[in-house]
């Protein structure tokens, strides 16, 4: 019982130390402007990956069913940016999502859902 109590008292200290270490790793990575550790030209290198990155973001904001209802998606790589938008069934009124992702690092450049 004493060991369990001691463990419960010490365990949070390891967690704080680990968080502090991770904070330092994050800070160092953000300060490194050379990006020497990136081993690929593009994080999002193909259409399937662009969709795999965009869908969870869109699902969380607009709802999975709503976004899946906008399939098939229009997906294009233009000047290093993935441009994705939904489609509506023929004859339907309304808008679709529109998202731009940076191919190099996966950043969301623009995100909107038209009405």
pLDDT of residue 7: 46
- Does residue 56 register a pLDDT over 80? yes
Who has greater pLDDT, 108 or 41?
Answer: 108
pLDDT at 48: 98
Query: Closest Cα partner for 57 from 11, 7, 102, 101?
Result: 101
Backbone φ and ψ for 68, nearest 5 degrees, come out as -60, -30
Q: Which residues of 42-64 are buried (b: 16+ CB within 10 A; e: fewer)?
A: bebeeeebbbebbbeebeeebee
The residues spanned by each domain of the chain are: 1-37, 47-113
Residue 75 has a pLDDT of: 98
Higher pLDDT, residue 106 or 34: 106
Residues 86 and 99: beta-carbon distance below 8 Å? no
For the entire predicted model, the pTM comes to 0.70
Question: Taking Cα atoms as reference points, which of 105, 91, 95, 40 lies closest to residue 66?
Answer: 95
Q: What pLDDT does residue 23 have?
A: 83
């Amino acid at each position: 019982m004493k060991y369990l109590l001691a463990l419960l008292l010490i365990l949070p200290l390891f967690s704080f130390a680990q968080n502090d270490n991770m904070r330092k790793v994050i800070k160092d990575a953000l300060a490194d402007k050379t990006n020497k550790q990136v081993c690929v030209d593009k994080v999002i290198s193909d259409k399937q990956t662009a969709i795999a990155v965009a869908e969870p973001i869109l699902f969380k904001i607009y709802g999975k069913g709503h976004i899946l209802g906008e399939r098939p998606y229009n997906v294009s790589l233009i000047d290093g940016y993935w441009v994705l938008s939904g489609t509506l069934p023929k004859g339907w009124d309304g808008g679709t999502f529109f998202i731009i992702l940076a191919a190099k690092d996966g950043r969301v450049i623009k995100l909107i859902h038209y009405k």
